[in-house]
């Protein structure tokens, strides 16, 4: 979680950016503290087209996607995960083009969590469910789906095999660290998924939000180191005193925009759950809210 950039650029959201021989990008007009300038939609192919993350339910953005290519050649709509800034426009684009939607799965039913559950698109149902390492082929392009749970349980990254490019969704972002929100989000899964990416040799990452990542291996190792640093920071503080998340946030995120503190508290909770699973810390067994109950160092560890 980085300090929020307060002066977001004024963008021409109708602009189509050519980012490689096979790939174009259009940004949705949904800037926010959580999306930076907006959701980046990637358009892949020339004779037959695949769209990755059509974005939020904004008609003008869907129109801009269709203007970027001939709608008759859009054959695949791929979804990295079912957050409301990634998947809702898929159904509109599907109606306008006849293309099928592809994703790991819908958002899991029965999840009861924080207010962040409102950020999920619970209506999306993919036409095709993708398995880990499954290949999707079109004329002139080959895409591999890589299951990367952590940010959400249904998160996928997509590799463009011809260009050794990885589209990372929100698993690896180009401007801030990824928020992990329990119970669907899981910090242990997130770290494992980062390590999984290190086994692949991609020359460039394109996240849905933020700039391209040109040295991905170094960047991902830095993300893992950051999460481990946070674990050490938590343990060091809890060795001194029992603390609640509300007490930890000002200590750990003093340079982060306070509008992002609620999201930061969720990632902090995910780390605390991970540490408790490893028996390094223990929490109060009571009915307090997650942010209010106290955690303490497990002296028996």
Segment 113-149, tens digit of pLDDT: 666 766 899 999 999 999 999 999 999 999 999 999 9
Domain 230-297 has CATH 3.40.50.10070: no
Measured between alpha carbons, how far is 29 from 93 in angstroms, rounded to an integer? 16
Q: Which two tokens stand for residue 114?
A: 């924080």
- What is residue 8's predicted lDDT score, i.e. its pLDDT? 46
Which regions in the chain score pLDDT beneath 50?
1-9
User: H helices of the chain, where?
Assistant: 59-68, 89-97, 187-198, 216-240, 245-252, 261-277
- Does the pTM surpass 0.85? The reply is yes
Q: What is the CA radius of gyration of the chain?
A: 20
Q: Which fold has domain 17-223?
A: Metallo-beta-lactamase; Chain A (3.60.15)
Please state, rounded to an integer, the average pLDDT across all residues of the chain: 93
Domain ranges of the chain: 17-223, 230-297
For 202-239, how does the pLDDT look when each residue is reduced to its tens digit (9 = 90+)?
Answer: 999 999 999 999 999 999 999 999 999 999 999 999 99
277/275 Cα distance (integer angstroms): 5
């Amino acid at each position: 979680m980085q300090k929020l950039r307060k002066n977001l650029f004024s963008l021409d959201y109708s602009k189509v950016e050519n980012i490689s021989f096979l790939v174009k990008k259009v940004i949705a007009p949904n800037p926010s503290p959580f999306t930076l300038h907006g959701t980046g939609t990637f358009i892949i192919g020339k004779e037959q087209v695949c769209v990755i993350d059509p974005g939020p339910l904004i008609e003008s953005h869907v129109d801009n996607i269709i203007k970027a290519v001939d709608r008759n050649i859009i054959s695949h709509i791929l979804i990295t995960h079912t957050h409301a800034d990634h998947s809702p426009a898929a159904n509109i684009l599907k109606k306008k083009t006849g293309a099928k939607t592809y994703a790991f799965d819908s958002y899991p039913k029965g999840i009861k969590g924080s207010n962040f559950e409102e950020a999920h698109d619970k209506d999306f149902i993919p036409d095709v469910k993708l398995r880990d390492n499954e290949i999707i082929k079109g004329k002139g392009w080959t895409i591999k789906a890589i299951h990367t749970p952590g940010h959400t349980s249904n998160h996928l990254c997509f590799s463009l095999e011809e260009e050794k490019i990885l589209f990372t969704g929100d698993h690896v972002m180009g401007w801030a660290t990824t928020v992990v929100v329990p119970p669907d989000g899981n910090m242990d899964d997130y770290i494992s998924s980062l390590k999984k990416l290190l086994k692949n040799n991609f020359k460039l990452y394109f996240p849905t939000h933020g700039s391209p990542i040109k040295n991905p291996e170094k960047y991902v190792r830095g993300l893992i180191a950051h999460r481990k640093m946070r674990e050490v920071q938590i343990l060091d503080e809890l060795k001194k005193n029992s603390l609640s998340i509300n007490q930890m946030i000002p200590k750990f995120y003093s340079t982060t925009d306070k509008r992002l503190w609620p999201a930061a508290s969720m990632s902090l909770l995910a780390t605390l759950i991970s540490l408790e699973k490893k028996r390094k810390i223990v929490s109060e067994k009571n009915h307090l809210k997650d942010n209010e109950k106290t955690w303490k160092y497990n002296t028996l560890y």
